[in-house]
Amino acid sequence: MRFVDEFRDAELGRAVAGEILAAVDPRRHYKLMEVCGGHTHAIYKYGIDDLLPDDVELVHGPGCPVCVIPMGRVDDGIAIAHEPGVIFTCFGDMLRVPGSNGTLLDAKAQGADVRMVYSPLDALRIAREQPHREVVFFAIGFETTAPSTALTLKRAQAEGIGNFSVVCNHVTIVPPLRALLESPDLRLDGFIGPGHVSTVVGARPFEFIPRQYGRPVVISGFEPLDVLQSVLMLLRQLGEGRCEVENQYARVVPFDGNVRALEIMGEVFALRPHFEWRGLGFISQSGLRLSDAYAAFDAELRFATPGVRVADPKACQCGEVLKGVIKPWECKVFGTACTPERPIGTCMVSSEGACAAYYNFGRFARSKEAV
Amino acid sequence: MTSRAGSRTAGTGPVTAAGGSELAQAGGRSRDDRESRILSIIETARAKRAKFRDERITMAHGAGGKATQSLIEGLLVPALAADGGALATLADAGAVAEDLALTTDAYVVRPLRFPGGSIGELAVNGTVNDLAVAGARPLALSLSLILEEGLPADELRAEVEAIARAAAAAGVEVVTGDTKVVERGHADGMYVTTAGVGRRDPRARLSPQSLRPGDRVLVSGSIGEHGTAIMLARGEFELDADVASDTRSLWPAVDALLDAAGPALRCLRDATRGGVASVLNELARASGVAVTVREGDVPVRPVVAGAAEILGIDPMYVANEGVLVAFVAPEAADAALAALQATAGGEQAAAIGEVRSEPPGMVLVETAFGGRRIMDQLVGDPLPRIC
């Protein structure tokens, strides 16, 4: 993994940290949002927070795909998982997301056949191998994972695999960002743009952020040096009074994205008129369903689901955390009623979730120094 | 640039987009205090003995993390060792009589055979290692087999032969046993339970409560190989890599450590389920100390690091079957490390960190990139991240 090591060089990291310090206006406090959960994870995993000056604050955004799934959708998934003959598949960190009555892991303990997969293709393979079972894939994620679901569905259709279906919870990144920017209680100076999503959609869709909302965007990779360099690029834009979309992750992200992936997505998916986001409420045109051409694979049409909207628990402030209005530790139930062992809100479930990441990795940085 | 100490004001005041810094500073102090207060409440809650409140057993209860801990501390120990006793110390092996130690372990693994070993070898080495890290020379094993109806006799024969080979290599004798057969669909081929008796070595003064600030943390080899080999052998990831289980008897390593460090050896643990991270957390709690780990010094073979990276898992949490973690007083640390490196399979042994006093019960990592973070106990199985 030589390719990766080059982006984890501690000496280079200190050098960039020094440049960041030099780029900071001492009279200012900077709030920068990293949109993507992958960045949140990297920031904690490598202790990047530790290398930044006090007045550069990173705010964790809504880009953790697990964290934004509302309880009602989890309940629907659990109901399908309990159907006789169903093998219910999903990504690992979805298993512990609480619905209104337990998690998929609990459903498994009660007898449902719930299996963790790494890719929708694994779910399709199970369907191929077990033609007498109904295999359902609970699809989540932004434009990052949507193409792999789309490809899997194309393959399922080509092979005529009738016992495979998908609960589509795919979402798109731009509508929630717009919703955040419209939010009156939000105060952000700039955005670290989502690298993986951008490999698919490109940099162009983010141009509305500088144009309409006057905030700079730097699309960033996921190695610690990438994140540090992106912070530096944002600070330089702010210092020089520039405001544009820059691409720090040019080694992977083409400006126009992956045209082929976008085509396949356009073929397999269609926009839902609105979709509920955990903590953010309903956002117009933010969710994807299967297109009419693929309706035969739509698990929501194949199985009866409760389809009930479940309000987020009252004490849970995931929405405000996702909007960057409060820090994880400022939530009323953080670390007491809501812990990684017994999460109330989704932000506490995935290691990409702002609360879980802070609970697992970040507490120390703000508690006591090692002696 | 040096890294900063705990008092931070970043991420506090209500700041306007244009940068209302006076507001930020005014709000900073009190918010920071509130944050430390909240964090200390959390720490107090975490230091309490875990309660068991779950309605059903889930796979998380078997994964060696917090859920397992709550099952053991909240249900098993209160019922079986309410007034203290050997079980309450939660050691790898319990003391019986003057100089004997007893341990038991059940082995369930899918697939039964994997690169580098099989369930039979695990069943011997795992139990031998629980005795070894308790400072007891392994003497004898019992062997219980639970066989699934339909298991090919050749597979059983191969496993029994593997057990015999591993026992001979570890210098223990199988002295008693039991066999049960259950209906098809009930035992993944076979389950194996072994118990082991060992003689406590007079050189050993080991206790999980004995860690002191300044002690060095050693690992006896490169980590994460067994768990990675099993994950890949399951064939769920369509990922091929040259990784084999590290299953082996750790008694030679323990013997060498006892010779080199004797009473300066504070505590030993084999880093099985839950990996090195779980061992460090368990002992930091038991001794009421902090443990710091230098991530860059932890020996991880590139192929294991690569697989873990792809799967979104930290090798520190991946199971080993032939790696121990040793806590050694500083004056004996160099001799202990040299002794480990001289044993077969110990060539990669390394000093990876040390014991500090603050913050008690916590494990901190100095990342290779220069930052720091907490390395917490896992809740259940390490669940891979999605992107």
CB contact under 8 A, B358 and A53: no
Q: Which residue has the tokens 């159907």?
A: A83
Question: How many beta carbons lie within 10 A of that of residue A3, not counting itself?
Answer: 8
In this structure, is residue A304 part of a structural domain? yes
Higher pLDDT, B40 or A12: A12
In this structure, is residue B276 part of a structural domain? yes
Same domain? For B195 and B222 the reply is: no
Question: How many beta carbons lie within 10 A of that of residue B201, not counting itself?
Answer: 20
Closest-CA distance of chain A to residue B65, Å: 10
Enter the ipTM.
0.72
Domain that holds residue A78: 1-365
Domain count, chain A: 1
Task: Report which residue type is found at A294.
Answer: Y
Between the two ends of chain A, the Cα-to-Cα distance in Å is 34
Same domain? For B368 and B335 the reply is: yes
Same domain? For B275 and B359 the reply is: yes
Mean residue pLDDT of chain B comes to: 84
Overall size of chain B counted in residues? 387
B294 in contact with A, Cβ within 8 Å: no
B371 in contact with A, Cβ within 8 Å: yes
Percent of chain B having pLDDT more than 70? 87
In this structure, is residue A371 part of a structural domain? no
Same domain? For B186 and B276 the reply is: no
Q: Is the peptide bond before B111 cis (omega within 30 degrees of 0)?
A: yes
In this structure, is residue B73 part of a structural domain? no
Same domain? For B168 and B233 the reply is: no
CA–CA separation, B241 vs B231, rounded Å? 11
Same domain? For B235 and B272 the reply is: yes
* C-beta of residue B163 within 8 angstroms of C-beta of residue B211: no
In this structure, is residue A16 part of a structural domain? yes
Say which CATH number the domain at B101 has.
Answer: 3.30.1330.10
Which region holds residue A309: left if phi is over 0, alpha if psi is between -120 and 50, else beta? beta
Cβ-nearest to A360 among B311, B367, B376: B376
CA closest to B291 among chain A residues: A370
B179 in contact with A, Cβ within 8 Å: no
Same domain? For B189 and B253 the reply is: no
Structure tokens at A346: 């989704």
pLDDT digits (tens, 9 = 90+) for B257-298: 999 999 999 999 999 988 999 999 999 988 999 999 999 999
In this structure, is residue B247 part of a structural domain? yes
Residues 186 to 245 of A: which have CB under 8 A from any B CB? 187-189, 196, 224
In this structure, is residue B163 part of a structural domain? yes
Contact list in A for residue B52 (CB cut-off 8 A) is none
Same domain? For B362 and B241 the reply is: yes
Same domain? For B184 and B220 the reply is: no
Alpha-carbon Rg for chain A in angstroms? 21
The mean pLDDT value for A176-190 works out to: 85
Q: Which residue has the tokens 């199988």?
A: B174
CA–CA separation, A139 vs A148, rounded Å? 10
A169 contacts: CB under 8 Å, gap ≥ 6: A69, A73, A138, A139, A140, A141, A287
How many contacts does A have with B, using Cβ atoms within 8 A?
A: 214
In this structure, is residue A202 part of a structural domain? yes
Same domain? For B180 and B249 the reply is: no
Say which CATH number the domain at A249 has.
Answer: 3.40.50.11740
Same domain? For B238 and B319 the reply is: yes
Task: Report which residue type is found at A295.
Answer: A
* C-beta of residue A114 within 8 angstroms of C-beta of residue A107: yes
Cβ-nearest to B369 among A10, A189, A362: A10
Structure tokens at A63: 């880009």
Domain that holds residue B283: 216-374
Domain count, chain B: 2
Query: What is A98-109 written as a DSSP string?
Result: -BTTB-HHHHHH
CA–CA separation, A41 vs B140, rounded Å? 47
pLDDT band at B141 (very low <50, low <70, confident <90, very high): very high
pLDDT digits (tens, 9 = 90+) for A217-272: 999 998 899 999 999 999 999 999 999 999 999 888 888 899 999 999 999 999 99
Instruction: State residue B28's pLDDT score.
Output: 43
CB contact under 8 A, B369 and A28: no
Contact list in A for residue B374 (CB cut-off 8 A) is 360-364
In this structure, is residue B324 part of a structural domain? yes
pLDDT digits (tens, 9 = 90+) for A38-86: 888 888 888 888 889 989 988 888 777 888 888 899 999 999 999 999 9
Same domain? For B227 and B356 the reply is: yes
Overall size of chain A counted in residues? 371
3-state secondary structure of B223: coil
Of the three residues B142, B171, B200, the one that is the final residue of a domain is: B200
In this structure, is residue A370 part of a structural domain? no
Say which CATH number the domain at B328 has.
Answer: 3.90.650.10
pLDDT band at B236 (very low <50, low <70, confident <90, very high): low
Q: Is the peptide bond before A131 cis (omega within 30 degrees of 0)?
A: no
B176 in contact with A, Cβ within 8 Å: no
CB contact under 8 A, A189 and B19: yes
CB contact under 8 A, B370 and A50: yes
Contact list in A for residue B376 (CB cut-off 8 A) is 340, 359-361
In this structure, is residue A322 part of a structural domain? yes
B1 in contact with A, Cβ within 8 Å: yes
Instruction: State residue A21's pLDDT score.
Output: 93
